[in-house]
Structure 1
Amino acid sequence: MSDTGSTRDKILAAACELFAAQTYGKASMKQIADRLGIAKPSLYHHFPSKSAILDALIGAPLDELAAVVDAAGRDGGDARRAVLRGCIAVMVDHRDVMGLLLRDASVYGDGTVQAVGRVNATVDRAIGLLAGPDPDWRSRLRAAQAFAAATDPIAQFPDVPVDELRDALLAGAEAVLDPAER
């Protein structure tokens, strides 16, 4: 790994820790630089803004989430289960970063409109697949509730083993989605 990549990765790790500890809105570029022992202008060499750091942190997980939803939509099998399983897997695998989106309202601001738009578009597609073809409003509501049940609690359980958390989230979301089957 090049020195630039190493420094970039260190910046992302430090920023993620600060964002989680203080919120995205309260953490500053100076604090990130200070945490790393680098000058603030050096930080700007790697990232032009704090929102660019956030974009770098959430970009890959959002790409994975979108790919899961897209694949479920193309799959001839059980799209609903594929969406739930795939979204849960991505969210759990990236729970430190995804927790920023789930628990930090300061992430949703003018500088992050594009990232938030990506999140919302992906969530809307996932809920559409969960609702099924030609859904009524109750089916759409239940789909939204199931998606929330599958994803929202992730950041609240950082110490639960991954496999156990995945299984519990899936069971809870399926119970919301199909209560008659439980």
Structure 2
Amino acid sequence: MSRSAEPGTRDRILVVARELFGAHTYGATSMRQIAEGVGITKASLYHHFASKAEILASLIDPPIDELDQAIAAAGRLTGLAVRQRSLLEGCLDAMLRHRDTMALLLKDASIYGDQTTATMERVVAFSQQAITVLAGPRPSRRQRIRAAQAFAAATDPISQFADVPTDQLRSELLSGALTLLQAQSGP
């Protein structure tokens, strides 16, 4: 049976893996545990995913693709303050839509290993690209530092405040990041 013949199983694998990675960490979760959680054999799991790193990439790639699109869209805008706000809003929206998956990136150091290098290179690349757009053209050292601080202020706390409603968290993170950039936080 082809992979496309059982989309439900593949989706269930991703849901169970995300839950197990979140509860036990990526490094402490085995393929056997994922298979048991889904209710399939380990061989069936390997039919859908060649490795745990491939499962992780399948979880992380969609939000990273959205983040890349938000960064690119903001980079095409005119005016630094407009670009900054657009980038922060777009990144926050993408990260909050994928809150559980993004928490893995922000809280689980075990995902940063040899088998996940390609995925983690994408994470580093989107972060650096976001900081470049936030800093603006020909930025000073201070502007680059503030851009990095603002991006971290907007994104890092997402995993720490799971109990805060999305709209409230988005508002607070955006306001704080814009303050760091010394931009207007009003509409």
Tell me the TM-score normalised to structure 2 length: 0.92
Q: Alpha-carbon deviation of 1:76?
A: 2.1
Instruction: Label 1:16 to 1:154 Cα distance change in 2 as closer, same or farther (>3 A).
Output: same
Q: Alpha-carbon deviation of 1:158?
A: 1.3
Post-superposition Cα deviations, 1:98-135, rounded to whole Å, max 9, x if no partner, equal: 01001100111111111111111111111011111111
Matched, 1:135 2:135: no
Residue number in structure 1 paired with 2:169: 165
Query: CA-atom RMSD, angstroms?
Result: 1.7
Unaligned ranges ≥5, structure 2: none
Moved over 3 A (4+): 179-182
Instruction: Answer whether contact 2:175 2:185 (CA < 8 A) is retained.
Output: no
- Once residues 86 and 93 of structure 1 are traced to their aligned partners in structure 2, the CA distance between those partners, rounded to angstroms, is 11
Q: Alpha-carbon deviation of 1:181?
A: 8.5
Match for 1:94: what amino acid?
H
Among residues 46, 49, 57, which one is paired with 1:47 in the alignment? 49
- Once residues 183 and 74 of structure 2 are traced to their aligned partners in structure 1, the CA distance between those partners, rounded to angstroms, is 22
Instruction: Answer whether contact 2:84 2:134 (CA < 8 A) is retained.
Output: yes
Residue number in structure 2 paired with 1:67: 69
Q: Alpha-carbon deviation of 1:154?
A: 0.2
Identity, % of aligned positions: 55
Partner of 1:160, secondary structure, is coil
Post-superposition Cα deviations, 1:20-71, rounded to whole Å, max 9, x if no partner, equal: 0010011000000111221100000000000000000011100000000011
Residue number in structure 2 paired with 1:16: 18
Residue number in structure 2 paired with 1:119: 123
1:69-148 matches, cutoff 5 A: 69-77=71-79, 78-148=82-152
Match for 1:104: what amino acid?
D
Match for 1:58: what amino acid?
I
- Once residues 29 and 75 of structure 1 are traced to their aligned partners in structure 2, the CA distance between those partners, rounded to angstroms, is 44
Matched, 1:154 2:176: no
Aligned residue pairs total 181
